[in-house]
Amino acid sequence: MVSAFEQSLLAIMMAVIMLGMGAALTPQDFKSSLKRPFGLFVGLVSQYGFLPLIGFLLALVLPLSPEVKIGLVIMSCMPGGTTSNIFTYFAKGNLALSMLMTINSTVFGVVLIPLLIVVYAAGLGISIPADNIVRTLIVLLVPVLIGMALRRWNANIGAIVELVGGALGIFFILFLLASWVPRNWQFLMSTPIPVFAAVIGLGLLGFAAGYLFSALLKLHPRNAQTISMEIGIQNGPLAVAIVALSFAGTQQQQIIAVPALYSLFIVINATLLTLWYRRINERSQQKLPDSFL
């Protein structure tokens, strides 16, 4: 399903993506996060509260194989990625809030991701090698630190690295469409419906949970849309990398199908949601002058 060449390419892509993520960070970002506890609270509760629980419940109620359940738990525990920032930008959402949530979820994910994966996997009666996942996250954290160092050394180089890293996040999705899907068409046709329900449902329920949580907090509609996008769009490439580096053989191929399918369908659903949110925001902007009459 995923060849040795693709795994090597993925490892390189993931390193560059995380390098770009690091290049987007400065020490001031961490200080700002701590000075804005509400944004920190919204981000952490959204990313590591709702979606892992949604993934766990889907794995609990749907007739899925143990490998698919493992993949679903791992996918649901991922932080937000740069892809969510791009979709938020096109939807005319709150880009600053989206980036803040991505930063927070990435930094705190080093501790929370393995912890949540182990807890929810145990709840499903599944054993996952948490030490492998921790080592993978630490290895992936190194490019983030290098990216931060580059940004501090030279802002222009940091900006270029950030741009390349963000572009690779989109390229990963296009790579799936152009390479993985045609080669695995037979696999897609034979995949049970509950698996599709799980990977598609994870994103859709994430969108809904984010918006409802924001409505409960009585946030501005643009902020609610942003949080909705941030929760629904998780870091698929990171999930694929974790699976590829933590498992082997047939089990790896079965588990990796979940983040691969999730990444495939989330870009379709996120595109439709982005167009809807953008239309809403454009209408609200057109009506804005009327409020001053």
Tokens 């949601």 belong to 273
Cα 170 to Cα 75: distance, rounded to the nearest angstrom: 18
- Residuewise pLDDT in 10s, the chain (293 residues): 555 666 566 666 666 666 666 666 666 655 665 666 676 677 778 889 899 999 999 999 999 999 899 999 999 998 877 778 778 878 888 777 777 787 778 778 778 888 888 889 888 888 776 666 676 666 666 777 777 776 667 666 666 666 666 666 666 666 656 666 666 667 677 788 999 999 999 999 999 998 998 888 888 888 888 889 988 988 887 787 778 777 777 777 788 888 888 988 888 898 899 999 988 887 876 664 544 33
DSSP string, 194-240: HHHHHHHHHHHHHHHHHHHHHHHTT--HHHHHHHHHHHHSB-HHHHH
Q: Which residues pair with 234 in a beta bridge?
A: 80
Residue 291 lies in a domain: no
Residue 117 lies in a domain: yes
Residue 78 lies in a domain: yes
Residue 249 lies in a domain: yes
Q: CATH no. for residue 116? A: 1.20.1530.20
Tokens 């949080």 belong to 227
Q: Which residues pair with 80 in a beta bridge?
A: 234
For 196-213, b/e burial (b = at least 16 CB within 10 A) is eebbbbbbebbbebbbeb
Total number of domains in the chain: 1
Quick one: 44 exposed, middle or buried, by C-beta within 10 A (0-12, 13-18, 19+)?
middle
Q: Which helix (H) or strand (E) holds 47?
A: none
Structure tokens at 250: 């047939």
Task: Map residue 64 onto helix, strand or coil.
Answer: coil
Residue pair 43/105 in contact by the 8 Å Cβ criterion: yes
Q: Which domain holds residue 147?
A: 4-278
Residue 287 lies in a domain: no
